[in-house]
Structure 1
Amino acid sequence: MLADSAKGLRPSLTETLFVLFLRLVAVTSLWFALQYWAMLTGFSLGGAGRFDLLPSAWKAAATALAVLFPVAAVGLWLLVSWGPVIWLIAAATEIAMHEVFPSVFGINRLLVFAHVAVAATFLLFNAVLFIQRRRQARTVRTDSP
């Protein structure tokens, strides 16, 4: 009976690498979330980053990112469509913090570069997957007349 069972298509190497990439971004998003929560609760920065000691701009940004990053991590790990969207919102928030308001949040070029590199890699994967799926759609189908 097993020989009669329909076999599913195996994912391509690109699809497998894309899943691994998304899971890696999920783990790093969770790490960012833990860093923000540690800062807000006083476990890091010697307690200087506690919520009650932060300026208003940092309170708003850190609180939003402490929520956005774990939600993005879950969405990326589960490979759902909203995961990258939430990650993009969180990454754009951090980029804006450090590039648009450097006098308030400081300059962190490495973080900005990392977010841009991840976004570019995501777009590259999507472009390659689109091309692969388009080629597969053009192949001759057995159900064609």
Structure 2
Amino acid sequence: MASDSPNVPRWTLTDTLYVTFLRVMAAVCLWFALQYWAMLTGYSLEGRGRFDLLPPAWKAASTALAMMFPVAAVGLWLLAPWGAVVWVLAAATEIAMHEFYPSIFGINRLLVIAHITVAVIYVLFQAALFLQRRKQTRQVRTDLP
């Protein structure tokens, strides 16, 4: 019976940690999306962040982020490559808002540092997975001398 089973590679600790990391990122993206939607609809900030009360720059940025973060959350939860791409776009938008236009959006160093830290962790996971797969490929090949 065991010989009939398909040969599926087992997940390593790196794979498990990476999937957990992406799922946590998805939950955080969903939280950010809910915060933006609450602001735009007037449920937070005592109604001062309602869409009709915002300046044009905030209208554009918050609307874009309110749409990007839930899409990124779905993509990250599904482990789809486009989820990380949408997250990078949303994170880059927030970094640009707070670093390049502080007179309009204010300074939020903690958010910027958090986005950069998560991006570095993501790149480190990608490098670790690449090296792991390369090592597995070398072990499996039979045409080596």
Please give the TM-score of this superposition, normalised by the length of structure 2.
0.95
Q: Residue 19 and residue 140 in structure 1: after superposition, are their counterparts in 2 closer, same or farther (change >3 A)?
A: closer
- Residue correspondence of structure 1 range 35-54 to structure 2 within 5 A: 35-54=35-54
Alignment-derived partner of residue 20 in structure 1: 20
Give the CA deviation at 1:119.
0.2
1:93 aligns with 2:93: yes
- Specify the SS of the correspondent of 1:22: helix
Letter in 1 for 2:14: T
- Structure 2 residue runs without a partner (length 5+): none
The offset of 1:5, in angstroms, is: 1.5
Within 5 Å, give how 1:63-78 maps onto structure 2. Answer: 63-78=63-78
Q: Which residue of 2 aligns with 1:124?
A: 124
Q: d(CA) in 2 for partners of 1:116 and 1:108?
A: 13
Identity of aligned residues (%): 67
**Count of aligned pairs between the two proteins:** 144
Distance 1:6 1:25 in 2: 32
Structure 1 gap ranges (5+):
none
Deviation, 1:3, is 5.5
- Give the TM-score normalised by structure 1: 0.95
* Aligned amino acid, residue 134 of structure 1: R
Question: Once superposed, what is the RMSD of the aligned Cα atoms?
Answer: 1.3
SS for the counterpart of 2:24 is helix
1:140 is displaced (CA, Å) by 4.3
Shift of 1:98: 0.1
* Amino acid paired to 2:34: L
Deviation of residue 83 (structure 1)? 0.3
- Output the CA distance in 2 between the equivalents of 1:105 and 1:141: 54
CA pair 62-78 structure 1, distance change in 2 beyond 3 A: same
Name the structure 2 match of 1:115: 115
Structure 1 counterpart of 2:93, one-letter code: T
Cα displacement string for residues 26-64 of structure 1 (whole angstroms, at most 9, x for unaligned residues): 000000000000000000000000000000000000000
Whole-angstrom CA distance in 1 between matches of 2:81 and 2:30: 18
SS in 1 for 2:141: coil
Shift of 1:138: 1.0
Measured in 2, the distance between the counterparts of 1:114 and 1:60 equals 23
Q: Which moved more, 1:133-142 or 1:110-119?
A: 133-142
